[in-house]
């Protein structure tokens, strides 16, 4: 089978139009603008653009199907190459049903990314409120999810980074995604172990009984920075929840705790001689158990090993919380390269 060869620009323009026509009318302009932004950035005019366009040609494809099939295969190659160069050339030989399913999945994320970059932010708001907030564990399992530099201002920004194939939350409005969904959040400051009142920097003595906790109130979402050896502590007293983020070092040259993250978690849980276990200072009420979720150790039910300790390049963990069904629900998202695990920490 042979086809009339398209010009490089025409092939790209027709494929962009094909993709845009698969989204609702009000979103098409934003989707087109976002696609051309990525194309101009990744494949500027010249040899790179020629290669990009010709990677989509069906001229030598073994069985590209009819006109609609060929257009869908070109669209899948385009979207995947913009997300993960080099181009996904296997799209030329995939079964038609597989092509259409993968194309639909990519277009769903493209719509979210384009909405944050050039749209209104309404799609992201809906995704945040109806998926991340209400179907949290399923959302975290189904999608790559990254919590970036969260500040203590009580504000977060939710958007989709199409190129990195993940949803993100940042503490500042991202420049490339000015229409990211803004929401209120409880922010928990990270504190170095030796800065906990009463602990000092002694490796063999001290107390974690006066941790300054943050009450989960004032917002219905909790977002933390990444944990790379840190411990997440929380306590539930009279329906109120207090939490803290304790670091085994400050990352700025301060003294690290001997034994790293696993040792920190055990000290906080009160299992190390000479170290008084963790508790929260006032205004947290007395009573109740301090729960610790750390690197390699935890005293939470069914979570005895915590999250895997390791290099920040290999292992990162985040805590995400939301008020749902009348109370707080806390989740952990652990990333290990291209794989991830999601667990609910509370309610147990």
**Residue 312 pLDDT greater than 90, yes or no:** no
Give the pLDDT of residue 275.
97
Q: Judge if pTM exceeds 0.85.
A: yes
Six-digit token pair at 66?
């009819």
pLDDT in tens, 43-80: 887 888 998 898 888 776 666 678 898 899 999 999 98
The whole-chain average pLDDT of the chain stands at 90
Give the pLDDT of residue 104.
94
319-342 average pLDDT score: 88
Helix, strand counts (H, E) of the chain: 8, 16
Give the pLDDT of residue 87.
54
Give the pLDDT of residue 105.
93
Using DSSP's 3-state secondary structure scheme, residue 159 falls into: strand
Give the pLDDT of residue 64.
67
Bridge partners (DSSP) of residue 190 are 245
pLDDT in tens, 265-304: 999 999 999 999 999 999 999 999 999 999 999 999 999 9
pLDDT band at 134 (very low <50, low <70, confident <90, very high): very high
- DSSP H helices, the chain, are 8-20, 28-42, 47-54, 67-83, 96-118, 122-127, 136-142, 260-268
Q: What percent of the chain has pLDDT over 70?
A: 90
For the chain, the helix, strand and coil percentages under 3-state DSSP, each to the nearest 5:
30, 25, 45
pLDDT band at 242 (very low <50, low <70, confident <90, very high): very high
pLDDT band at 32 (very low <50, low <70, confident <90, very high): very high
Give the pLDDT of residue 2.
45
Tokens 């963990």 found at? 317
Cα dihedral sign, 129-134-137-143: negative
* Separation of alpha carbons 188 and 153, rounded Å: 10
The more confidently predicted of residues 1 and 144 is 144
Bridge partners (DSSP) of residue 336 are 315, 339
pLDDT band at 92 (very low <50, low <70, confident <90, very high): low
The more confidently predicted of residues 11 and 226 is 11
Instruction: Check if the beta carbon of residue 244 is closer than 8 Å to that of residue 188.
Output: yes
**Residue 91 pLDDT greater than 70, yes or no:** no
* Separation of alpha carbons 38 and 238, rounded Å: 51
Alpha-carbon 38 to chain mean position = 21
């Amino acid at each position: 089978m042979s086809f009339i060869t398209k010009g490089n620009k025409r092939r790209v323009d027709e494929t962009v139009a094909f993709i845009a026509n698969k989204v609702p009318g009000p979103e098409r302009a934003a989707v087109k603008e976002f696609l051309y932004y990525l194309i101009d950035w990744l494949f500027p005019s010249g040899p790179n653009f020629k290669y990009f366009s010709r990677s989509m040609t069906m001229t030598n494809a073994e069985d590209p199907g009819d006109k609609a099939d060929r257009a869908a295969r070109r669209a899948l190659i385009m979207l995947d190459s913009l997300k993960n160069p080099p181009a996904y050339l296997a799209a030329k030989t995939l079964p038609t049903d597989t092509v259409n399913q993968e194309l639909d999945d990519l277009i769903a994320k493209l719509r979210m990314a384009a909405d944050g970059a050039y749209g209104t932010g309404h799609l992201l708001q809906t995704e945040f409120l109806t998926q991340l907030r209400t179907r949290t564990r399923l959302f975290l399992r189904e999608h790559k999810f990254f919590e970036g530099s969260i500040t203590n201002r009580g504000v977060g920004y939710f958007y989709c980074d199409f190129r990195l194939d993940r949803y993100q939350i940042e503490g500042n409005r991202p420049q490339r995604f000015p229409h990211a969904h803004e929401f209120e959040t409880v922010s928990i400051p990270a504190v170095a172990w030796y800065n906990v009142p009463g602990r000092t920097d002694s490796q063999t003595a001290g107390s974690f009984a006066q941790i300054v906790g943050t009450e989960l109130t004032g917002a219905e979402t909790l977002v933390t920075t990444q944990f790379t050896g840190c411990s997440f502590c929380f306590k539930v007293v009279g329906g109120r929840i207090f939490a803290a983020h304790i670091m085994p070092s400050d990352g700025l040259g301060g003294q690290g705790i001997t034994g790293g993250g696993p040792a920190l978690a055990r000290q906080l849980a009160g299992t190390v001689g000479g170290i008084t276990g963790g508790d929260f200072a006032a205004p947290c009420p007395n009573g109740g158990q301090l729960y610790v979720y750390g690197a390699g150790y935890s005293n939470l039910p069914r979570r005895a090993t915590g999250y895997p300790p390791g290099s920040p390049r290999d292992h990162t963990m985040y805590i995400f919380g939301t008020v749902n069904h009348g109370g707080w629900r806390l989740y952990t998202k652990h990333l290990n390269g291209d794989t991830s695990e999601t667990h609910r920490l509370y309610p147990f």
